[in-house]
């Protein structure tokens, strides 16, 4: 039977790492993966918006879709876990998502797609269960994979293969934190999630959730390049922004997420912004 397409988001993004991941995923799943390197200054923010976009992109089809396998390796580097954050999995719309347990990456899925629970795995527990039932792994191989810090290479493709095959992979359900009833509207909470190739700054929330956003409102945006506040008008769409001027529009990402743009230019260059930057003075 045909194997599902595989899309991988990873911050292990050098050519050597991408080649190894591609080879292992293709060998195990029988499909050449699309690997999207997230090597910018804020891979967590970029992964959060990109994962939301990937799953939303499978909608509006007028009928059923083919299942995808989406792999996400964006570990929080907070030193909380002895050998990195655990990996979890869930299904959405028939698609299988395997991700590091990173609440910042998963939060938009809870808020906008209704994903409320994930299945958290323990690497050693899964490997030992597989070796005892359906996989030809020696005790030495189980130990090698369980101890390595390169789990996105050695463990995650195996987990994907076994879940696609329907094996009883041991896991523990974990409820994801519910979205805040009243989203934080503090000015410094708004971040640039993704800077696209045109220099448009995709923000990390819907346009309607921005403080003071409404129709043709004017917001005060902090320019990191000039270290001053710049008055930026809100528009419904990019074509409504006057040529050569900045604007805040409802963009193409998320669920009506906002974008800071310059029509015919680069907002990232004009305001000196990059991924992860806070729009510190975003006020009406």
**CATH code (residue 199):** 2.40.30.90
260 lies in the same domain as 209? yes
157 lies in the same domain as 218? no
Q: Is the pLDDT of residue 99 over 90?
A: yes
Give this prediction's pTM: 0.92
Q: Alpha-carbon distance 69 to 81, whole Å? A: 26
> What confidence tier does 186 reach under pLDDT thresholds 50, 70, 90?
very low
Average pLDDT over residues 209-238: 84
Split into its structural domains, the chain has a count of 2
Block residue for tokens 């570990």: 75
Domain-located, residue 207: yes
The pLDDT of residue 279: 83
Q: Is the pLDDT of residue 181 over 60?
A: no
The pLDDT of residue 3: 84
CATH (domain of 148): 3.40.50.10790
Q: Are 283 and 220 in contact (CB under 8 A)?
A: yes
69 lies in the same domain as 201? no
> Which of these three, 108, 141, 175, is where a domain ends?
175
Q: At what angle do helices 123-133 and 139-147 cross, to 10 degrees?
A: 160
> Which of these three, 175, 195, 230, is where a domain ends?
175
Nearest residue to 134 via CA among 91, 88, 169: 169
Q: Alpha-carbon distance 138 to 142, whole Å? A: 6
131 lies in the same domain as 265? no
Q: Write out the two tokens for 83.
A: 């050998």
121 lies in the same domain as 65? yes
Residue span of the structural domain in which 197 resides: 187-271
Q: Which of 60-74, 82-96, 98-112: highest mean pLDDT?
A: 98-112
Phi and psi, residue 55, nearest 5°: -70, -35
Contact residues for 132 (Cβ-Cβ < 8 A; gap 6+): none
Block residue for tokens 């909608």: 59
198 lies in the same domain as 71? no
23 lies in the same domain as 145? yes
The mean-pLDDT minimum among 59-68, 88-97, 141-150, 264-273 falls in 59-68
Domain-located, residue 282: no
103 lies in the same domain as 169? yes
The pLDDT of residue 179: 79
The pLDDT of residue 78: 63
Q: Alpha-carbon distance 138 to 140, whole Å? A: 5
> Which of these three, 175, 203, 227, is where a domain ends?
175
C-beta atoms surrounding 258 within 10 Å? 27
191 lies in the same domain as 170? no
Per DSSP, the three-state class of 21 is helix
């Amino acid at each position: 039977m045909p194997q599902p397409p595989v899309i991988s988001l990873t911050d292990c993004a050098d050519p050597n790492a991408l080649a190894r991941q591609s080879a292992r995923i293709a060998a195990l799943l029988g499909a050449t993966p699309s690997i999207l390197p997230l090597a910018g200054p804020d891979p967590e923010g970029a992964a959060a918006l990109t994962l939301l976009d990937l799953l939303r992109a499978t909608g509006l089809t007028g009928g059923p879709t083919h299942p995808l396998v989406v792999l996400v390796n964006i570990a929080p580097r907070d030193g909380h876990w002895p050998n990195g954050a655990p990996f979890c999995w869930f299904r959405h719309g028939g698609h299988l998502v395997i991700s590091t347990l990173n609440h910042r990456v998963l939060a938009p899925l809870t808020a906008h797609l209704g994903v409320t629970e994930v299945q958290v795995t323990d690497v050693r527990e899964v490997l030992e269960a597989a070796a005892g039932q359906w996989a030809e792994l020696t005790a030495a191989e189980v130990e090698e994979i369980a101890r390595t810090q390169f789990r996105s290479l050695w463990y995650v493709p195996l987990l994907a293969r076994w879940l696609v095959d329907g094996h009883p992979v041991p896991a523990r359900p974990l409820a994801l934190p519910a979205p805040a009833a009243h989203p934080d509207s503090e000015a410094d909470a708004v971040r640039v999630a993704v800077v696209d190739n045109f220099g448009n700054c995709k923000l990390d929330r819907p346009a309607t959730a921005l403080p003071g956003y409404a129709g043709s409102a004017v917001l005060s945006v902090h320019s990191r390049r000039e270290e001053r506040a710049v008055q930026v008008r809100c528009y419904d769409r990019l074509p409504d922004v006057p040529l050569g001027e900045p604007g805040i529009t409802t963009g193409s990402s998320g669920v009506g997420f906002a974008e800071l743009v310059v029509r015919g230019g680069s907002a990232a260059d004009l305001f000196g912004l990059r991924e992860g930057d806070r729009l510190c003075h975003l006020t009406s």
